[in-house]
Structure 1
Amino acid sequence: MTQIELRGVQKWFGAVQVIKNLDLAIADNEFIVLLGQSGCGKTTTLRAIAGLETIDEGDILIDGKPVQHMKAAARDIAMVFQSFSLYPHMNAYENIAFPLRATRMNKAEVDKAVREIARVLRITDLLDKRPSALSGGDMQRVAIGRALVRRPKAMLMDEPIGALDAKLREEMRAEIKRLHIKQGSTTIYVTHDQIEAMSLADRIVIMHEGVLQQVGTPEEVYRHPANLFVAQFVGSPVMNVADATVMEERDAARVQVGGAAGGFEFPRELLGKLNGHAAGGLALGIRPEGVLVRHDAAEGFLPVEAQIIEPLGSFDIVDLKVGEQVLRARTRAGYVAQPGEKVYARIDPSQAHFFDGASGTSLEIRL
């Protein structure tokens, strides 16, 4: 079992604080993804766990034992980087075997371990080739094999497929997930790509400017973002966010965005749930699939104009002009024929999110 815990971890580079009071518990065999923009502190956090970076305050525990004062070699953790970092003069077999030979393991045991990990990674036929004869995906498989061959307590990956093309990235995502399930190792994976995070993670740790924003399963962070940063960072296309005004009607609430006449109809219970919250203003968040579009007028639907249509194969993303605001809607392919077409739209209240306009914090209103 390998459990990793960070308690009150802080890290400065000179006057710049890159990790701010980070608390995180990672369970045995869990696949955790650290997700955030470049410079948010995710790689520094990973390097601190590995022992490649010292921390200024806090504790890092592996299986309940503080390790922040231990050298990297003593932590029994393997790391895979974005650059493949293979020895060019060695073939794939020798690259994978290198960490075992460094421990003076006997030749027969080395051979057994290398061939076993090569079989798992499906690179047995590549063992005699040098890195220069391998594709990018195969080189990364060899790098992963070299990290896994000594069966470390945990595997740390720093954007390991970031340098690959789109097709290879997709293949390697599936490969990494399959390998994790087969090996059952505790894995921490760093990326700025939210598609990688959503497809790989058991839980996603979202960071921004050194501060942990939210920890949750891919479904939790997508459906219940803790704040505006998470709402607009997770999901593609990003969530629509607009300043909103809520007006009371006799049997409903009406949410106005972009100054559009009338506004969108919501259940009256919204008024009670707001109850004076969002003193700094109110922001409405709605994902494109929550913006419903039709060709004919209907109750609750506002007349809007289609502006830009992005065909994405099985569906389109259509920009709709709602007053002075643009909302992006997801429709079936070809549903809106051309820019300038008049259609009707409404917001699905069950998919709407409301945020405090000043702090960006979710008001956690569910309708």
Structure 2
Amino acid sequence: MAEIELRHIDKHFGPVHVIRDVNLTVKDKEFVVFLGPSGCGKTTTLRAIAGLEEIDSGDILLDGRPIQNLRAADRDIAFVFQNYALYPHFTVYENLAFPLRAVGTSRDAVDSTVRSVGRSLGISHLLRARPSALSGGDMQRVAIGRALVRRPKALLLDEPIGSLDAKLREQMRIELKRLHYENGSTSIYVTHDQVEAMSLADRIVVMNDGVLQQVGTPTEVYLHPANLFVAQFIGSPVMNIAAATVSEADGLAQVSLEDANFELPRELLGMLEQKHAAGDLSLGVRPEGVLVSHEARPGYRPAEAHLIQPFGGFDIVDLRVGSRTLRARTSSGYVDKAGDRVFARLDPAQAHFFDTRSGASLDIRLAG
């Protein structure tokens, strides 16, 4: 068992408050991803768990035992750095063997473990090579292998594939997920890349300015963002966000985005009243929640295609609706060219409402 718990963690670098009262439990064998922009505190939190940074206050527990005062070497936690940190004068075999030899593991056990990990990572044919002869992906496999040979209770990874090209990153994401399931270790992974987070995580921890913004499964943080920051940070392209006013019109709720008006179910009015949210509203809707039609239909507003971005299996189309621009996701080639006239409406089930001042989601969910 390897459960990691953070209780009221705080950390300053001089006057800068880097980690602000962080509370989190990472379950045994769980793969958790810390996601956020540069400088949000995610790497500092990871290093604090590993013992590479001292915290100012709070507790870090491993299997219920406080470890914040233990040396990094005594925590039974492995750390994979972004820059590989391999010994250039050692072969791959020697790099993998080094952590085992450092704790006095027998020669036969070292050999057996190194070759087993080499097979698991697909680098058995590279054991005699030195790092200078390896590709970036192979070096990252060696770095991960060096962490795995000790069979640590927890594996911490700090943007380990950030410097690889797109194709290698995709391959390594698959490898990392496979290795996690095979080894069953508790894993915490730091990245600023939401694609990595969504594809790897059992749960995502979204951070900003040292504060946990939301903790949830990839589906939860994508479909039900807790606030405006999460709504705009998760998703590519980002969620459409606009200041909105809501009023009653013809027995429906009319949502006005400046001069662009959309109809939503009347029940929205009652939900807003229950939330005491009369003003300072922001509407959020992801591109797939902006529905597009070639023909005029009830509830659809005239729109003009402004920019089309083909992505192979789908297109992202910027639509001019009144004076507003909304980004929509359509099937490939659905809108032929910029300047084409189409019609758009908002999918009620994908409409999010936020308090503009606090940024918090009002947690309003309408039926489609």
TM-score range, shorter chain: over 0.9
- After superposition, residues 67-78 of structure 1 pair within 5 angstroms as 67-78=67-78
**Which position in structure 1 is the counterpart of 2:331?**
332
Contact persistence 2:272–2:278 (CA under 8 A): no
- List structure 1 segments (4+ residues) > 4 angstroms apart after TM superposition: none
One-letter amino acid of the counterpart of residue 4, structure 1: I
Looking at structure 2, the residues matched to 311 and 228 of structure 1 have their Cα atoms a distance apart, in angstroms, of 27
Mapped partners of 2:220, 2:247: distance in 1: 30
1:258–1:322 CA contact under 8 A, matched in 2: no
Q: Please say if residues 278 and 357 of structure 1, whose CA atoms lie closer than 8 Å, have aligned partners that are also in contact.
A: no
Contact 1:34–1:42 (CA under 8 A) maintained in structure 2: yes
1:194 and 1:30 map into 2 onto residues whose CA distance is 18
Alignment-derived partner of residue 256 in structure 1: 256
Greater displacement, 265-274 / 315-324: 315-324
For residues 82 and 271 of structure 1, what CA distance do their matches in structure 2 show? 50
Verify the 8 A CA contact 1:277 1:356 in the aligned structure 2. no
Aligned pair 1:278/2:265, yes or no?
Answer: no
Asked if the contact 2:306–2:319 (Cα under 8 Å) also holds between the matched residues in 1, the reply is yes
Determine the C-alpha separation between the residues in 1 that align with 2:22 and 2:326. Answer: 35
- What's the CA shift string for 1:181-212, capped at 9, x where partnerless? 01010000000000000000000000000000
Q: Contact 1:2–1:27 (CA<8 Å) still a contact in 2?
A: yes
CA contact (8 A) 2:245 2:279 kept: no
Alpha-carbon distance in structure 2 between the residues aligned to 1:239 and 1:28: 33
Paired residue for 1:180?
180
Structure-2 separation of matches of 1:321 and 1:106: 69
3-state DSSP of counterpart to 2:181: helix
Of residues 272-281 and 81-90 in structure 1, the stretch that sits farther from structure 2 once superposed is 272-281
1:111-166 Cα distance to aligned partner (Å, 9 max, x none): 00101111111111111111111111010000000011011110000000001000
Whether the 8 Å contact between 1:59 and 1:66 is mirrored in structure 2 is yes
Match in the other structure for 2:101: 101
SS in 2 for 1:278: coil
2:92 aligned residue: 92
Specify the code of the residue in structure 1 equivalent to 2:345.
R
Matched residue type, 2:46: L
Equivalent residue, structure 2, for 1:321: 320
Determine helix, strand or coil for the equivalent of 1:309.
Answer: strand
Number of equivalenced pairs: 365
Identity across the alignment (%): 67
Q: In the alignment, is the contact (CA less than 8 A) between 1:6 and 1:22 conserved in 2?
A: yes
Q: 1:86 is aligned with what amino acid?
A: L
Per the alignment, residue 35 of structure 2 pairs with 35
Secondary structure in 1 aligned to 2:151? Answer: coil
| Equivalent AA in structure 1 for residue 322 of structure 2 | G
Tell me the residue number matched to 2:121.
121
Give the structure 1 partner of residue 63 of structure 2.
63
SS in 1 for 2:296: coil
Matching residue's letter, 2:359 = G
For the aligned residue pairs, the C-alpha RMSD in angstroms reads 0.9
Q: Which residue of 2 aligns with 1:209?
A: 209
Give, in whole Å, the separation in 2 of the partners of 1:24 and 1:357: 27
Q: Which stretch of the first structure deviates more once superposed, 292-301 or 250-259? A: 250-259
Letter in 2 for 1:56: D
**Offset, 1:249:** 2.3
Contact 2:280 2:356 in 1 (8 A): yes
More moved, 316-325 vs 142-151 = 316-325
Q: Secondary structure at the match of 1:327?
A: strand
Measured in 1, the distance between the counterparts of 2:271 and 2:336 equals: 39
Measure, in 1, the Cα distance between the counterparts of 2:113 and 2:238.
Answer: 45
Scaled by the length of structure 2, the TM-score of the pair is 0.98
User: Gaps spanning 5+ residues in structure 1: where?
Assistant: none
- CA distance in 1 between counterparts of 2:105 and 2:289 reads 58
Please state how far the C-alpha of 1:167 moved relative to its aligned partner: 0.4
User: CA separation in 1, counterparts of 2:297 and 2:214?
Assistant: 39
Task: Report if the CA contact (8 A) 1:304-1:320 is conserved.
Answer: yes
The equivalences for 1:234-249 within 5 A come to 234-249=234-249
- Does 1:291 pair with 2:290? yes
Code of the aligned partner of 1:294: S
Q: Which amino acid aligns with 1:20?
A: R
CA distance in structure 2 between the partners assigned to 1:161 and 1:209 by the alignment: 24
- Segments of structure 2 that go 5 or more residues without pairing to the other structure are none
**Per-residue CA distance 1:202-238 (angstroms, 9 max, x = gap):** 0000000000000000000000000000001011111
SS in 1 for 2:344: strand
